[in-house]
Structure 1
Amino acid sequence: MKDNRFVKGRLKSTVYSVKGAYKLITSEHSIMVQFFIAIAITIAGFYFEISATEWMLQTFAIGLVLAIEGANTAVEKICDFIHPDFHEKIGFIKDIASGAVCFAALAAMVVGIIIYYPKVALLF
């Protein structure tokens, strides 16, 4: 008899992942903003008919920002749970997690500029 627990476990994990992504998008303002930007940039990709390589870079950049933003949110929630009052070390941890988001967002902006600046410049 075949062991189906592995497959069932993976399916269960996928359900939890989708549930977590939904919670992020519907409850966290920073993720809402990033998700809106991702949708706008995706629409721009169709409008400007970007290449397959540009789609890959854009998709990776969007995924990177959303993933790091989600990890930052998780770190902040854990910190707030462990120590709800202000604490210098907790603030330091939260700042570092936020800094990771900054790096991802800056990298995504560079990708966006490289892809879209030449296309937008042709419009003017």
Structure 2
Amino acid sequence: MPEANGPLPPYAPPSASQRSLLRRRAASFGHAFRGVGMALRSELHLQLHAVATAVVLGAGFYFGLSLVEWALVSLAVASVWAAELFNTAIETLTNLASPGYHPLAGKAKDVAAAAVLLAALGALAVGGLVFGPKIWALLPR
């Protein structure tokens, strides 16, 4: 290891195992983006969340949100997307494992849907707290 103020070591290209690791990491991102794309094409609720996300981003730029407000809105949006994607994955696996009706399969689907509902309600609360006062200020009195 070089000293704090000493010269930098010469550049060494990544080894074959490091390149392989990087390729696998890059491929995992590709798989994740493909999963989002598949879910967007097949899930109406996710398409609605995509429209809502676009509206929220537009409103955020219009109102000039602060860094903290952007952070809150971003976390709210990401939580809804994550919950919806988990719900889609759970529903897909449940349909694979139990093509016919089974009470436990129904319970799994209902609980996954409840997670999306809670995330959406939380995002609605954040949206109301962040955007509510800004919209209220625009209303004529």
Structure 1 unaligned runs (5+)?
none
Please tell me the root mean square deviation across aligned C-alpha atoms, in Å: 1.0
- 1:109 is aligned to 124
Q: Percent of aligned pairs with the same residue? A: 31
1:40 partner letter: V
Largest Rg, 1 or 2: 2
Q: Aligned partners of 1:23 and 1:58: how far apart in 2?
A: 25
- Of 9, 21, 24, the residue aligned with 1:6 is 21
Q: Which structure: greater helix fraction?
A: 1
Deviation at 1:85, TM superposition (A): 1.3
The one-letter code of the counterpart of 2:125 is: V
4+ long deviations beyond 6 Å: none
Question: How do 1:80-95 residues align onto structure 2 when only pairs under 5 Å count?
Answer: 80-95=95-110
Taking the aligned partners of 2:111 and 2:43, their CA distance within structure 1 comes to 19
Deviation for aligned residue 1:25: 1.5
Equivalence for 1:64: 79
Cα separation, 1, equivalents of 2:76 and 2:87: 16
> Is residue 17 of structure 1 aligned with residue 51 of structure 2?
no
How far has the Cα of 1:121 moved from its partner?
A: 0.4
TM-score normalised by length of structure 2:
0.85
Deviations 1:61-111 (A, max 9, x none): 111100110000110011111111111111011111111111111111110
Superposed displacement of residue 42, structure 1: 0.5
- Does 1:74 pair with 2:95? no
CA separation in 2, counterparts of 1:60 and 1:25? 20
2:59 aligned to 8, 21, 44, which one?
A: 44
Taking CA–CA contacts closer than 8 Å with sequence separation of 6 or more, which of the two structures ends up with the larger relative contact order?
Answer: 1
Task: Return the offset for 1:18.
Answer: 0.8
Tell me the number of residue pairs that the alignment of Structure 1 and Structure 2 aligns.
Answer: 124
* TM-score (structure 1 length as normaliser): 0.96
